[in-house]
């Protein structure tokens, strides 16, 4: 104790304080390392998803994509919201442009069309490439959401990084990113809904939630429809599959 007091009087940090500061600096450096690693995973994911986007050399070889391209070139932006909600007259409605059998959903269609307008690339050999770029961006967003979900559930940077890497380097998502189809859009919003659901679960000291979350939460519904209103569910018990709980 006297030695500790003498060190304090001399202005020197106590051994415990010095070791705590060293540990804190080490944690900061480690946090930076994990941040750099996830950025690296995302950058590699960007490369895999954006390289060779014009893989068919403007031949429109994907049949579903070709149909979406035909619909994209037939619709046009509306002048105002009133025109949009007038479904009989809306220029964004595929049914008003001779495509009454369009069944793929309109959000990806509208996103690509307005992106094409902004980039001045709305032609038949242009809008499909805009769609492929947005498809790649959606899947890249899915990789990030997977990382955030794992980080929330496991509170382990290694597992979170592994989850993101598996999503970033998997063959099927990379393939789908090269198509202007709705698959990657659906995956992104589905994973986003799952992320909001995980965020709503109260987390205890462990990795998994220790008590049921309240139902009818609005943030989950923003991504995936109304919240489930079936009431409280039991907390996860040891040995149970947490995915079953969710």
Integer Cα distance of 60 and 62 in angstroms: 6
Average pLDDT over residues 195-223: 63
Q: Which of 29-38, 67-76, 169-178 comes out lowest in average pLDDT?
A: 29-38
Q: 3-state class of 173 per DSSP?
A: helix
Look at residue 117 and tell me whether its pLDDT is greater than 70.
yes
Alpha-carbon gap, residue 64 to 24, rounded angstroms = 54
Domain ranges of the chain: 61-200
Query: Does residue 227 register a pLDDT over 60?
Result: no
**According to the 3-state scheme, what is the secondary structure of 36-68?**
HHHHHHHHHHHHHHHCCCCCCCCCCCCHHHHHH
pTM: 0.74
Task: Give the pLDDT confidence of 67-97 residue by residue, as tens digits.
Answer: 999 999 999 999 999 999 999 999 999 999 9
Give residue 209's pLDDT band: very low, low, confident or very high (50, 70, 90): low
Q: How many Cβ atoms from other residues are within 10 Å of residue 12's Cβ?
A: 11
* Ordered alpha helix ranges (H), 51-106: 63-74, 81-85
Q: What is the mean pLDDT of residues 93-114?
A: 94
Let me know: does 74 contact 98? Beta carbons within 8 Å: yes
Average pLDDT value for the chain:
82
Average pLDDT over residues 104-128: 96
> Is the model's pLDDT at 22 over the cut of 70?
no
Name which of 1-5, 50-54, 151-155 the model is least confident about: 1-5
- Give, as one character, the DSSP assignment of residue 178: T
Distance from C-alpha of 163 to C-alpha of 41, rounded to nearest angstrom: 11
Measured distance CA(75)–CA(52) in Å, rounded: 27
Q: Which residues of 19-46 are buried (b: 16+ CB within 10 A; e: fewer)?
A: eeeeeeeeeeeeeeeeeebbeebbeebe
């Amino acid at each position: 104790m006297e030695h500790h007091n003498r060190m304090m009087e001399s202005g020197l940090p106590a051994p415990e304080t010095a070791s705590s500061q060293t540990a804190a600096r080490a944690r900061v450096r480690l946090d930076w390392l994990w941040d750099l690693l996830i950025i690296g995973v995302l950058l590699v994911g960007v490369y895999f998803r954006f390289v060779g986007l014009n893989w068919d050399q403007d031949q429109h070889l994907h049949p579903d994509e070709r149909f979406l391209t035909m619909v994209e070139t037939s619709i046009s932006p509306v002048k105002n919201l009133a025109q949009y909600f007038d479904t009989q007259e809306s220029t964004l409605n595929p049914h008003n442009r001779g495509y009454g059998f369009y069944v793929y959903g309109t959000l990806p269609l509208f996103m690509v069309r307005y992106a094409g307008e902004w980039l001045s690339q709305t032609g038949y050999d242009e809008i499909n490439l805009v769609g492929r770029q947005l498809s790649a961006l959606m899947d890249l967003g899915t990789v990030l959401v997977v990382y955030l979900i794992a980080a929330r559930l496991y509170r382990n940077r290694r597992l979170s990084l592994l989850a993101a890497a598996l999503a970033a380097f998997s063959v099927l998502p990379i393939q789908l990113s090269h198509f202007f189809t709705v698959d990657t859009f659906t995956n992104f919003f589905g994973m986003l809904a799952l992320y909001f659901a995980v965020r709503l679960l109260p987390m205890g000291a462990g990795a998994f939630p220790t008590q049921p979350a309240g139902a009818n939460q609005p943030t989950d519904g923003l991504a995936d429809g109304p919240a489930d209103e079936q009431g409280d569910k039991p907390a996860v018990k040891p040995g149970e599959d947490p995915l079953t709980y969710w």
